[in-house]
Amino acid sequence: MAIIYTTDYRCPLGRLVLEGDGKALTRVRLPGEKPPAATDEGAPRVRDRQPFAAAIAQLDEYFAGARRAFDLPLAPSGTPFQLKVWRQLRKIPYGRTITYAQLAHRVGNDAACRAVGAANGRNPLPIVVPCHRVIGSDGSLTGFGGGLAAKRKLLALEGVQPRSGQRSG
């Protein structure tokens, strides 16, 4: 049975929980996100900071404004469509935003805005896979697992000032 390694990481957003399989980062839990019940994922959970040395160093650089892209082994779990969306998220440049419609176009289905939004919302690697860079078609902030204040903080760190209007969807 596989082991899930975990460690805490303190950042300007609060406490993140990093999870991995010992080789790759598999999940970043945002502040307030509840960890799964012990039986949810089946695998034993081991608290160990060592497997996350590179992720921690790169997150430190990102929050210090010195890193614009992450170069880490990642192993998110998702459907083929979700994985396709998450690959496109990694292509959004630091300090730039795109809309859900633009993201749908990039995955090859202009009519898939809602499906793209759902996949974006299920991104298990927020910050590292920058789902915070996706905004509403009118330029306003839309939902983010860590809350809109966290999304605004991440975008501000990258020099982006979105419209003041906010939507929850």
Residues in the chain: 169
- Give me the phi and psi of 15, to 5 degrees please: -95, 120
Count of other CB atoms within 10 angstroms of residue 123: 24
Cβ within 8 Å of residue 162, ≥6 positions away: 97, 135, 139, 140, 141, 152, 155
User: Half-sphere exposure of 50 toward its Cβ, with a 13 Å CA cutoff?
Assistant: 3
C-alpha span between 124 and 127 (Å, rounded): 10
Active site residue 113: no
Q: Which of 16, 92, 131, 134 is catalytic?
A: 131
| Residue 100, token pair as written in the block | 């859900």
Q: Is 80 helix (H, G, I), strand (E, B) or coil?
A: helix
Count of other CB atoms within 10 angstroms of residue 168: 8
Catalytic residue positions, numbered = 131
